[in-house]
Structure 1
Amino acid sequence: MPQMPKRVKFRKGQRGVTKGIVAQRKYAGYIKGNAHRGNYVAYGDFGLQSLEGGWLSAECIESGRITMTRFVSGEGRYYIRVFPHKPVTAIPAETRMGKGKGEPEYWAAVVRSGQVMFEIGGLPESAARDCLARVAYKMPFKCRFVTRRPNV
């Protein structure tokens, strides 16, 4: 079952994108700027880093989790670094204007470019690269394989 918050203060959230960017980009959830936090591998040995910003739905996170669980299967350990906090609302098709804001349709995580979304540890690099390539295929934006920085 996809992740969602246990309890929220407000049921319907605002979109949080600027008008000029929405006019340029034709898809919802375009996020400007780079990630300043969560942009390095902290828990595992290898990670999957986003190269674009956007909204990552809870269903995408869940499909990535299932893929990693099947691939790891007791050998290593995986970590999910994103959580869907944002409610995304929608109005039914062919509905007239007015009548207020739509109902929450799904939950999404706001991902900036450079943010590490998934991490994996306890596997050799070739196996981790193969596993995260399968996960990256399911993500809605471009991703890359990153490794842990050496401790200085």
Structure 2
Amino acid sequence: MALMPKRVKHRKEQRGRVKGNATRGNKVSFGDWGLQTVEAGFIKGQTIEACRVAATQYVRGEGKLYIRIFPNKPMTARPLETRMGTGKGEPDHWVAVVKPGKVLFELAGVSLEAARECFARVAYKLPVKVRLVGRLPGA
């Protein structure tokens, strides 16, 4: 089941613009290795779930996976072959807004080679460019 909020104040939101770099959630906090975005974008809840499945299948209980993003923005869509001018579409899916520098996933208890292989599988499913980062010593 894809992630989504239990309840929201407003059913529909405007898209908005993603400006600037991430100032929060831009460091590896829970695990040893992290997957950090290099560009801004929207990540669907279904995509986050697919990444979670791919990572947990590779780790197989060896390490722990942390998901640092949550899809809390509704995206609307109009039905196909609908004429113009009938108003805004119904909520279709939920997305997480990510800025450059945001850490999306973290892994704990695995080696660098295992983290690199695991995050390569995850990165293939993501719509944004990402890079592997490690925890800073003493952090």
The two structures have a TM-score, normalised by structure 2, of 0.96
Q: Indicate whether 1:126 and 2:113 are aligned.
A: yes
How far apart, CA to CA, are the structure 1 residues paired with 2:110 and 2:33?
9
Name the SS for the 1:132 alignment partner: helix
Aligned twin of 1:12? 12
SS in structure 1 at match of 2:53 = helix
Q: What is the rounded CA distance, in whole Å, between the counterparts of 2:120 and 2:81 in structure 1?
A: 39
Q: How does 1:79-118 map to 2 (within 5 A)?
A: 79-118=66-105
Q: 2:61 maps to what in 1?
A: 74
Residue 72 of structure 1, CA deviation: 1.1
Within a 5 Å distance, the mapping from 1:57-72 to structure 2 comes to: 57-72=44-59
Q: SS at the partner of 1:67? A: helix
1:5 maps to a residue whose letter is P
Unaligned runs of 5+ in 1: 18-30
CA displacement 1:2-45 (0-9 Å, x = unmatched): 1000111111111112xxxxxxxxxxxxx221101101100000
Q: Report SS of the residue matched to 1:56.
A: strand
- TM-score normalised by structure 1 residue count: 0.88
Distance across 1 between alignment mates of 2:50 and 2:88? 29
Separation (CA, whole Å) in 1 of partners of 2:44 and 2:52? 13
Q: How many matched pairs?
A: 139
| 1:94 CA drift (Å) | 2.4
Which runs of at least 4 in structure 1 moved beyond 3 Å after TM superposition?
none
Alignment-mate amino acid for residue 107 of structure 1? W
Q: Give the aligned residue type for 1:16.
A: G
- Determine the C-alpha separation between the residues in 2 that align with 1:90 and 1:107: 11
